[in-house]
Amino acid sequence: MKNLWFGFIFIFLLTTSQQVFAQDQRIGLKQYNKARIQYNKNGMLILGSWAIGNIIWGGIMAGRTSGELRGFNQMNAYWNSVNLLIAGLGYYSAMKEVPSGDFWETLQSQQNIEKILLVNAGLDVAYMAGGLYMLERGRRLDNIRLSGFGKSVIMQGAFLMTFDTVKFLIHNSHGKELPKILENISLGLGGFGFKVML
């Protein structure tokens, strides 16, 4: 009878310990996801600030300059109208996202943001190449406005490449914290389990 009570107590403690560890993991994952979401919000605020500054300055200077410089300022304003839209949608999306406590959702979200940033960095290189083409074509055709557009696209592409690369490095560094949160989870033939320290 005594052994039976010890058995019940052991099973109760084991079950309770697993629930506590599972709860700790969910809390840890939610905190992890809150940080990832905050990084995204901060990034969209930076992009939005850059866009607003370029729209205002580009709009003012386009009216006060001429030739290539006018084209440069006009394109800065045009280009950043799109950046402002992207920043607004990105910030709104981050505001709506609920931090998940689920492992697979967390892993998928982390992988998605890193992939998106790498694709964006590739697009940024394409933007700069397009800007170089516009600059060269403008010079060949003696089209100073097109040359100004080209210089603007090169600069905007360089900013976006720096922005996306830094953001990727931040998210990638954050992603390395995920194994620390999950160190108590083990995967076996029967599914997930938790390491219990008695």
Q: Render pLDDT for 85-129 as a digit per residue (tens, 0 to 9).
A: 999 999 999 999 999 999 999 999 999 999 999 999 999 999 999
Contacts of 29 (CB under 8 A, 6+ apart): 99, 100, 101, 102, 103, 106, 181
Q: Give the pLDDT of residue 149.
A: 98
Q: Give the pLDDT of residue 7.
A: 55
Instruction: For residue 112, give the amino acid letter.
Output: N
Sign of CA dihedral 162, 164, 170, 172: negative
d(CA 101, CA 98): 10
pTM: 0.81
| Region 161-167 average pLDDT | 98
The domain locations on the chain are 27-95+104-194
Both structure tokens of 177: 């914290």
Q: How confident is the model at residue 133 (pLDDT cuts 50, 70, 90)?
A: very high
Q: Give the pLDDT of residue 23.
A: 65
β-strand pairing of 191-194 with 185-188:
antiparallel
Both structure tokens of 35: 């940080």
Q: Render pLDDT for 6-56 as a digit per residue (tens, 0 to 9).
A: 555 555 544 544 444 456 678 889 999 999 999 999 999 999 999 999 999
d(CA 117, CA 51): 18
Both structure tokens of 159: 């900013």
Both structure tokens of 119: 């694709």
Both structure tokens of 34: 């809150």
CA distances from 52 to 23, 45, 131 (A): 43, 10, 21
Instruction: For residue 54, give the amino acid letter.
Output: N
Beta bridge partners of 9: none
Q: Give the pLDDT of residue 189.
A: 45
Instruction: Evaluate whether 50 touches 43 at the Cβ level (below 8 Å).
Output: no
Token look-up 């998928």 returns 108
* Segment (H or E) for 194: strand 191-194
d(CA 26, CA 76): 44
Torsion of CA 138, 144, 149, 154, to 10 degrees: 70
